[in-house]
Amino acid sequence: MLQIQGINKAFGDQILFQDAGCLIEAGEKVGLVGANGHGKSTLLKMILREMQPDGGQISVSRGIRVGHLSQHLVFSEPSVLEEACLCLQVQEEGYIEIHRAEAMLMGLGFTREMLDQPPDELSGGFQVRLNLAKALLEDPDLLLLDEPNNYLDIVSLRWLRGFLRKWRRTLLLVTHDREFMDSVTTHTLAVHRQKLRKFSGGTEKAWDQIYTEEEMHEKTRVNSERKIAHEMRFVERFRAKAKRASQVQSRLKLIAKRERLDKLDEISTLSFTFNHIASPGKWSTETRNLEFAYGDGPTLIRGLELHVGARDRIGVIGPNGKGKSTLLRLLAGELKPVSGEVRSHPSTVRSLFGQSAMGVLQEKRTIEEEVYSANNMLTRTQVRDICGAMMFGGDLALKQVEVLSGGEKSRTLLGRVLAAPSNLLLLDEPTNHLDMASTEALIDAVNYYPGAVVMVTHIESVLRETCNRLVIFDAGITRVFEGDYDAFLRRFGWSEEAESGTATPRKKNENRKGKRRERAQLIQQRSALLKPLKETIERNEKLITTLEEKAKITEALLITASGAGDGDQISRLAQELKNMRSSIDIAFHKLEQASTEHDRIEGEFEQKLGDEE
């Protein structure tokens, strides 16, 4: 259906694709994964002919209809429903399946009242949802979806997941939500090191295979380089010895035959921890009979009683536009309640990440200056470390805010949150603009953080792996649920799904957090065993180098003493040289022993890690 052959694509010095290719068959649902900036969206644009590859070709089978989630928000019809119906086929009797359009729009979060609303009066998020409904209603043979999660709330995402799982056509999906992707796709297509790698199955299996291959590549490269270095030491030591000439030539032939592997470039991903300031209190903040509305608008929050403990992880969930971000702004002190109050412990220091906090960024500042302004107690090295953790290494930290993309501004704001000491994190959709690996890094950072976290997210896997309590906006009510997300689904579920009967059963939770913990423990054990061996290898390599340099000097002095006929000097230097060569032989023996044991342990743990996966 879709064939990509030997494509090349670069923007200036940045090469995205180099002789990359793959084949996508009809009926396959493919998750497109890769680090931010490595070419996922560019690939989709090339498939849609919105951009051309520099070389190679992308071909779609004749007669195949390609649909996509368009970002062009241009509408021609007077109502949302009529706009959606433009994509429906007229039946033989002249009848249009309007009910299909209605069901699609309702599933994506539109209310019945909104169906009669002019599309131009919708918010930007709902206009994108309308385009998504149109793409789905066209029923294309190949559907391209680029980060639909950024525009949908948790209920709409659950509906879309159920729809895509039942869909029988071909799908190419980009999303940072691993659980969502794995629940609907049959294959994974990785954009990695300027190539395309396609795998059957989910993302974890694909990345595990790639990382295993690269670990083997690096292990082979290091072992080969180490053996070449050992053999070269033998050659250098015995090159001038006539009795060892044949052995020296044999070693040189072995060195020439050994394959030299290139060191793989390190791929930048987010890696960070939040800056915590200790608090003596057992609680962080609380609301009492909290009520809020914007002006004459509807009451978004009524009578909310929320107590945030010093180490709580609270997820704020519900449909868009119902007050989730508003609650975080109330907790941050950006908004004042209509009635009730928000109280904080005297030692509470809050840090807010979210769209409303973007206003703190100043257009003329550099990224480095923005991070420093969040905490002027940091040294420049510490500031640069945070910039690097946000993937702004080197001169990238000197870019001004005014030239940054939306994703780069989001990472800059996250850098400010990292820099500022806090014991209460207020995170509003922190995974938007992050790739899959960065989302995993965020989960780890939130779990490691010693303070309290209140987080708005529509990513179910983030909720499952981080939050032990919930604030739920559902059916016009705001309530606190004392339990995790799966317990909420079991006991209550979403009211919209219960009414429509469209709740999608979730696959059995495989406890990814537990698997990651077990894998981390194995890696720690491996590191603990390998560390002394690596130290032995490095120590003896340095010792051999030092002794060989001293031996050369001693040999030169011995030649001089022989020429002068100094018997005492000749005797002393000869003994020193003999001792040095004996020490070199012992060091070589220890080096070989440590190298052999190092390789044995690496192989053993490689097997264990493979079994654990």
pLDDT by residue (tens digit) across 476-530? 789 999 999 999 988 887 766 655 555 544 444 445 555 655 666 677 677 778 8
Joined together, the tokens standing for residue 122 give 């919708």
* Strand pairing class (170-174; 29-33): parallel
pLDDT tier at 587 (50, 70, 90 boundaries)?
A: confident
Q: Which one of 217-221, 269-273, 548-552 scores highest in mean pLDDT?
A: 548-552
Please tell me the predicted confidence (pLDDT) of residue 519: 63
Q: Which residues contact residue 189 at a Cβ distance below 8 angstroms, ignoring those fewer than 6 apart?
A: 22, 24, 30, 31, 32, 33, 172, 196, 197, 198, 199
More confident residue, 605 or 468: 468
Distance separating alpha carbons of residues 132 and 531, to the nearest angstrom: 53
Task: Look at residues 312, 343, 303 and name the one whose alpha carbon lies nearest to residue 482.
Answer: 312
Answer whether 2-208 and 283-514 agree in fold: yes
- 258's enclosing H/E stretch is none
pLDDT tier at 264 (50, 70, 90 boundaries)?
A: low
Please tell me the predicted confidence (pLDDT) of residue 537: 86
Is residue 528 left, alpha or beta, with left meaning phi > 0 and alpha meaning psi from -120 to 50?
Answer: alpha
Residues 267-323 have pLDDT tens digits of 656 667 888 999 888 999 999 999 999 988 889 999 999 999 999 999 999 988 889
Q: Is the pLDDT of residue 239 over 70?
A: no
Terminal alpha carbon distance of the chain = 33
Tell me the CATH architecture of domain 283-514: 3-Layer(aba) Sandwich (3.40)
The domain limits of the chain are 2-208, 283-514, 515-613
Tell me the CATH architecture of domain 2-208: 3-Layer(aba) Sandwich (3.40)
Give pTM, 2 decimals. Answer: 0.71
Distance separating alpha carbons of residues 105 and 113, to the nearest angstrom: 11
If you count DSSP H runs as helices and E runs as strands, how many of each does the chain have, helices first?
18, 18
Work out the percent of the chain whose per-residue pLDDT is above 90: 43
Q: Residue 612: helix, strand or coil by DSSP? A: helix
Instruction: Average the pLDDT over 388-393 and give the result.
Output: 83
Considering only 70-79, 233-242, 348-357, which range has the smallest mean pLDDT?
233-242
Instruction: Average the pLDDT over 214-230 and give the result.
Output: 75
Please tell me the predicted confidence (pLDDT) of residue 558: 84
